[in-house]
């Protein structure tokens, strides 16, 4: 998996990848990230040539710190996104079902970013439930 989060808007992309080589990741980045964007990453070697692809590339050396003290750059946003996705995915059948769960997670995340509830309440005219319905358990 590979992904990114746009600072400010929270727009996110997560994409399955066959490997983490520079060519594979560059293709995904070109597909999802606009040219001239500032990309902040860790120091993984596959990101080395992002500047030559038209991006401003800044790095955070995790062997020294998790946030650059001079610039404030960090990768905490995408790291927390990975954590939330793994929790959402659960610990069973990750390899088998992950594409379905990825689509489900991204669907919910898109609505959250846009401030739209994924399942809005029904309109009053379409509801068959009376506004005077009793509160409490229903026994049949």
Question: What is the pLDDT, as a whole number, of residue 122?
Answer: 67
The residues spanned by each domain of the chain are 2-117
Residue 136 pLDDT class (50, 70, 90 cuts): very low
Rounded Cα gap, residues 4 and 43, in angstroms:
15
Candidates 29, 26, 36, 24; CA nearest to 13 is 29
- Over residues 24-34, the mean pLDDT reads 93
* pLDDT per position as a tens digit, 43-88: 898 998 999 999 999 989 888 888 988 898 998 888 888 888 888 7
pTM here is 0.68
Question: What is the pLDDT, as a whole number, of residue 99?
Answer: 78
| 3-state SS, one letter per residue, for 84-104 | HHHHHHCCCCHHHHHHHHHHH
Residue 121 pLDDT class (50, 70, 90 cuts): low
CA distances from 112 to 1, 80, 117, 123 (A): 21, 16, 7, 21
- Over residues 3-27, the mean pLDDT reads 89
In CATH terms, the fold of domain 2-117 is: Nucleotidyltransferase; domain 5 (3.30.420)
As beta bridge partners, residue 5 has: 12
Instruction: Please give the structure tokens belonging to residue 20.
Output: 């983490």
């Amino acid at each position: 998996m590979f992904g990114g989060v746009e600072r400010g808007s929270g727009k996110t992309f997560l994409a399955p990848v066959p490997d983490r080589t520079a060519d594979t990741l560059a293709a995904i980045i070109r597909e999802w990230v606009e040219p001239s964007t500032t990309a902040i990453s860790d120091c993984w070697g596959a990101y080395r040539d992002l500047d030559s692809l038209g991006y401003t590339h800044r790095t955070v050396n995790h062997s020294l710190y998790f946030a650059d003290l001079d610039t404030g750059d960090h990768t905490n946003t995408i790291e927390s996104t990975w954590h939330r996705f793994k929790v959402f995915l659960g610990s069973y059948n990750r390899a088998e079902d992950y594409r379905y769960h990825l689509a489900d997670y991204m669907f919910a995340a898109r609505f959250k970013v846009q401030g739209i509830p994924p399942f809005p309440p029904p309109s009053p005219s379409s509801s068959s439930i009376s506004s005077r319905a009793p509160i409490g358990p229903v026994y049949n």
